[in-house]
Amino acid sequence: MYEYDLSLLEVCRLNIVLDIAEKAVSKALESGAHQAEVFVSSTKSFSIDVENNSIKTAEDIRDAGVGIRSVVGKKIGFAFVTTIQESDYLEAITKSVKIAKASIPDPDFVSLPSYEGRYPDVQGLFDPEIPRLQPEDAAELIIRTVDASLQEVGQYEVSVEARLAASAGTFAIANSLGISRTISLASVMISSSSLIRNDDARTSSFEYQSTRNLRDLDPEWVGSTASKKAVRNLGGKTIEGGTLPVILAPLAARIILGGGFAGAVDAEEVQYGRSYISDCLGHQIASESLSIIDDALLKGGLGSGPYDGEGFPTQRTLVLDRGVLKSLLHNSYTAFKDDVPNTGSASRPSYAGIPSISSSNFIIQPGSGSLDDLISEVDKGVLCINTGDSPNMTTGDLSATITEGFYIERGELVHPLKNTLFGINMRELLMKVSRVGNDVRKDSSIITPSLVLDEVKVTSG
């Protein structure tokens, strides 16, 4: 019997990663840095893949590394290594100081952050059952997903691709101004695609679930939903097009508001004038039905955490209040530059880069009505279930293909769509949100229900 242990204790103890971070900070100061910040992570992930209805591959990935930011005057250098061996990170420290010295000073840089107060308590970020998941248990979960997919396809030929991925890690951050924090995080995800064939026609759909709590996983729901959606997608047609209402179901709303709006409230992009909402703070930029909170404190949230990528405490930030832009998302650099409070929005997914800014859990406040209710209210329009497009972040122009969607007539879905796009500027899109549903999907760091947009130019052919 093969024993497989994903246990974090085997990877790295919290105090070990923190020791490395603190030691590397002092080494950087000894090497000539005026300020230094070190991020250390040690993660372990296990995944299992299904191809054509059969398990094929198991992967065991251990990733550990150290990233060092050195400050010399107003000059900054960064280096990282993909190991936590002392000789390797010492080499990286030397490099980060050297390239800081050779860089061009940034007059707007004030300091790395410091903080001595209390940190928020955020629950539900580490389920010890996730790192304890054995390959056999993972295989069983994914087989249940596939079986549920196969049961839902009726007479069609089907090929299921599915994946389960579990990961757990320890993370530490320390800087020369006294910040020293550590945390363990775990999450697990199941995704499944049903590829179906009926004579010459082929189509597919997918579903997934991502969570920090192993018991939340519902493999039967993932598999059967992917298959139901795929069957429903057979027989796509073009439509006449025109100016029509468009319903964005949660997956599509997540892509458009997540990529297309959460990125626009990044204070750095706004300060540089590269965002389509530059100069809009305090203004009504969206319809009154739209309120958005960026909430890093959400229990068990995929974007939650007590501190940000620079070790600064996180918070709940009101971004959009009934359409009025209330706050941007800041890290220490942009907050110092604008002399405003730091919202704790520095993001750093791994040791391999300088912290940037991103939303934590970007929560679109729900309204009322299920997706079916919203559809029933549309006389003639389209439902966009998914798209892969994102707007031009400078102009806000969005030209989006409905990769999965339906034509609606008299409150009912008539047929799936093919070769159909819609075009709208994000500024206009935000204003045209006429209705917000309550069919919230939580399994992402962009948490949104369905949205109804009035009068969007739809092209098909």
Partner 1 sequence: MRSYQWAINMEHLARLAIESALNTGVSFADIRIVNTTTTVIEITNGVSKGSIASRSKGAGIRAFIDGAWAFAQTTDLSPDAMREIGISVARLALATRSKTSERFEIEGPSFSGKSEFRPKTHFHDISFEDKVKYVKAIDDQARDYDPRIVNTHTLYGERWVELFIANSLGTSVYVENSLPRIISTPTSKDGTNRQSGFKSVSMRGGFEVFQREDSLNIGISAAEHAIRLLDSKAVEGGVFDVILDPALNGVMTHEAFGHACEADNWLAHSTVLEDKVGKIVGPEYLSITDDPTLPHLRGSFEYDWEGTKASKHSLVQEGRLEELLHSLETSSRLGMHPNGSARAQSYMDIPIPRMSNTFMEPGDWSSVELIEDTASGLLLCGVNYGYTNPSKGQFVFQADHGYLITNGELGQLVRDVSVANQILDILSKIDAVAKDIELEAGTCGKFGQTVPDTTGGPHVRIRSVPVGGV
Nearer CB in complex with partner 1: 82/376: 82
* Whether 161 contacts 193, CB under 8 Å: yes
Residue 207 host element (H or E): strand 201-211
Q: How far is the CB of 388 from partner 1 (least distance, A)?
A: 5
Q: How far is the CB of 245 from partner 1 (least distance, A)?
A: 16
- Return contacts of 80-87, CB within 8 angstroms, 24+ apart: 80/351, 80/352, 80/353, 82/352, 84/12, 84/17, 84/20, 84/40, 84/42
Query: 170, 47, 188, 169: which is closest to 130 by C-alpha?
Result: 188
Q: How far is the CB of 110 from partner 1 (least distance, A)?
A: 14
CA 49 to chain centre: 22
Q: How far is the CB of 57 from partner 1 (least distance, A)?
A: 4
For the four alpha carbons of 415, 417, 421 and 425, in that order, the dihedral sign comes to positive
Q: What count of Cα atoms within 13 Å lies in the side-chain half-sphere of residue 53? A: 12
Q: How far is the CB of 419 from partner 1 (least distance, A)?
A: 5
Q: How far is the CB of 158 from partner 1 (least distance, A)?
A: 9
* Whether 123 contacts 300, CB under 8 Å: yes
Nearer CB in complex with partner 1: 99/371: 99
Q: How far is the CB of 360 from partner 1 (least distance, A)?
A: 22
Tell me the Ramachandran region of residue 455: left when phi exceeds 0, alpha when psi lies from -120 to 50, beta otherwise: left
Nearer CB in complex with partner 1: 89/126: 89
Residue 243 host element (H or E): strand 242-248
DSSP 260: I
Nearer CB in complex with partner 1: 373/397: 397
Nearer CB in complex with partner 1: 35/96: 96
CA-to-CA separations, 366 to 176, 363, 440, 447, in angstroms, rounded = 42, 9, 7, 9
Query: What number of other Cβ atoms are within 10 A of residue 288's Cβ?
Result: 12
Nearer CB in complex with partner 1: 276/362: 276
DSSP 214: G
Nearer CB in complex with partner 1: 77/223: 77
Residue appearing with tokens 């750095």: 268
Q: How far is the CB of 261 from partner 1 (least distance, A)?
A: 16
Q: How far is the CB of 174 from partner 1 (least distance, A)?
A: 19
Nearer CB in complex with partner 1: 171/276: 276
* Whether 368 contacts 438, CB under 8 Å: yes
